[in-house]
Structure 1
Amino acid sequence: MKPSLRLLGTDLDRTLLPNGVQPESPQARPLFRQLCAQAGLTLAYVSGRDKDLVQRAIYSYSLPQPDFVISDVGTNIYDLRNGDWQLLSDWHELIAQDWKGHNHEQLCQLFSPVRALRLQEYSKQNTYKLSYYFSLQDDQEQLDSQLSDLLEQRGVAASLVWSVDEPAAIGLLDVLPRHADKYHALHYLRRLLDLPVESILYAGDSGNDLPLLISSVPSVLVANAHSSVRDKAREMAAIAGHSERLLLARGLGQMNGNYSAGILEGVAHFFPAAAQQVLGHA
């Protein structure tokens, strides 16, 4: 017997939000809202956006109100179950240990000789998140090695999360405490709720979703994801021995697998009982 879906975690931009170049199936978002209204289902938005931008997305795209928001690529976690945005300070105490006493300004200075990096806007930074732009023509592997060496010299435990803003055709880099990415934040939330891994579904589309997409968490990569992300997810999941936990959405019925249609396809694949309640009416 397949487990029940208890926690649905989804990225926002170009996963739930139809703000990429590919078309959205018109019936998908209304069906997603129906899905999230099911009793016993906890909804978490897991995004690189900050709190204000997440709020704007919820309003602009008529999204269901979540129970939790993991924002800023995993550096902040908010509990919304009582109607307000309660920041979970225990999470900050945990991830702060990785910085080894260094602050945001000191790490910016550490990376200042790396000319290929351009610091993103002030609004996209926070205490535990350094965000940069880089050119897609730059050698990402060489940059990764250079930055990792600088961090190792200072004893800083960090994750370098690389992704691409496809509409803007520019590379994005987030430097985070090692335990502050989407993967560790979602597992922190899972432990907080005392849920087994098998009761979770995660949906994503980009490089900063890969740690979850290739893990033991049942996951779906939406069909509009870039082909390079699709290839890398398939390869890395196979190496990790988790191929059966990753679905590459391709379309289901009259839906094309893009954005929320891909999320619903993931629900249908891993949690058919939950999907039947909404897709039975599609």
Structure 2
Amino acid sequence: MAKFLFVTDLDNTLVGDDNALTELNDRLHKTRQEHGSKVVYATGRSPVLYQELKEEKNLLEPDALILAVGTEIYLDGSGNPDSEWSEKLSSGWNRDVVVAKTTQFPELVPQPNSEQRPFKVSFFLQEEPSARVLPELQSELQQSGLNVKLIYSSGIDLDIVPHHSDKGQAVQFLRQKWKFVAEQTVVCGDSGNDIALFAAGSERGIIVGNARPELLQWHNEHPADYRYLATNFCAGGILEGLKHFGFLE
């Protein structure tokens, strides 16, 4: 077995089947000790909500955290975001202008303060009005000359972030930092904000069996032999995919 870079979303991907998670944690712990594999969590959660989940589910300590849908990277347990990544995101980003523009849309309900981050403005947006609101909001923000993008997932969560920030770009940054090639890297997800993980390069991709419609639709429209659609749910689907790609026996 060779070392590999393991990157996974948390909610409904790594977490959701406690028995399978226990087995996966054991396997990952072993390959990290024996081969020097790296474990990365890539989640929409803020540091506050990540800590809650980590304690609740007894997650393995990761080598890096990609938090707030890719806008913050924390290395080796550091409490401070990686400054090199933050520097990359600051070009063309003006949080105050983003917030001001969003006040024109009553359908946008701000998420809790813990989820509002330096490079992320987050709302709840119901699925029904989203088809009308998202294009109008995108147009408003573009007219302000802002270099941003909208990430809408799970039929409720809207994140506005710098254009070159997402989970996928963050993985590319870590991959190059740690010198892993795409063939040695595996990314796992279940929802719309994970599309960036699968779309950024040719990393091995595992889509868990309980994936949401928006991710399945994207997968069907962009088939690739380096991506695997599991039948098992959550950590069980990850184990299935890791065996499929030969990362685990």
Q: Report the TM-score, using the length of structure 1 for normalisation.
A: 0.82
Match for 1:262: what amino acid?
G
- Equivalent of 1:157, from 126, 137, 147? 147
Deviations 1:226-279 (A, max 9, x none): 2343123221x23xxxx11211111xxxxxx11111111111112x1x311xxx
- SS of residue paired to 1:57: helix
Query: Is residue 244 of structure 1 aligned with residue 225 of structure 2?
Result: yes
Assess if the C-alpha contact under 8 Å between 2:13 and 2:190 holds in 1. Answer: yes
- Percent sequence identity is 29
Shift of 1:163: 0.4
Gaps of 5+ in 2: none
Gaps of 5+ in 1: 19-23, 165-169, 251-256, 277-282
Shift of 1:66: 0.5
- SS of residue paired to 1:208: helix
Shift of 1:4: 3.7
Equivalence for 1:21: none
Shift of 1:5: 4.6
Assess if the C-alpha contact under 8 Å between 2:4 and 2:185 holds in 1. Answer: yes
- SS of residue paired to 2:123: strand
Query: Is residue 207 of structure 1 aligned with residue 201 of structure 2?
Result: no
Tell me, in whole angstroms, the C-alpha distance in 1 between the residues paired with 2:92 and 2:243.
Answer: 38
Assess if the C-alpha contact under 8 Å between 1:25 and 1:261 holds in 2. Answer: no
Tell me, in whole angstroms, the C-alpha distance in 1 between the residues paired with 2:86 and 2:18.
Answer: 38
Deviations 1:173-210 (A, max 9, x none): 00000111111111111111121111100000000001
Query: Is residue 108 of structure 1 aligned with residue 104 of structure 2?
Result: no
- SS of residue paired to 1:32: helix
Match for 1:29: what amino acid?
L
Q: Report the TM-score, using the length of structure 2 for normalisation.
A: 0.92
Assess if the C-alpha contact under 8 Å between 2:192 and 2:212 holds in 1. Answer: no
Tell me, in whole angstroms, the C-alpha distance in 1 between the residues paired with 2:127 and 2:177.
Answer: 38
State the aligned residue count.
244
Equivalence for 2:181: 196
Match for 1:275: what amino acid?
L
Query: Is residue 137 of structure 1 aligned with residue 112 of structure 2?
Result: no
Deviations 1:34-81 (A, max 9, x none): 22121311000000111122122122111111000000111110012x
Match for 2:27: what amino acid?
L
Equivalence for 1:269: 244
- SS of residue paired to 2:137: helix
Tell me, in whole angstroms, the C-alpha distance in 2 between the residues paired with 1:221 and 1:110.
Answer: 35
Tell me, in whole angstroms, the C-alpha distance in 1 between the residues paired with 2:80 and 2:103.
Answer: 34
Match for 1:131: what amino acid?
S
Tell me, in whole angstroms, the C-alpha distance in 2 between the residues paired with 1:55 and 1:229.
Answer: 26
Equivalence for 2:220: 234
Query: Is residue 179 of structure 1 aligned with residue 152 of structure 2?
Result: no
Query: Is residue 53 of structure 1 aligned with residue 49 of structure 2?
Result: yes
Assess if the C-alpha contact under 8 Å between 1:158 and 1:175 holds in 2. Answer: yes
Equivalence for 1:34: 26
Tell me, in whole angstroms, the C-alpha distance in 1 between the residues paired with 2:129 and 2:178.
Answer: 42
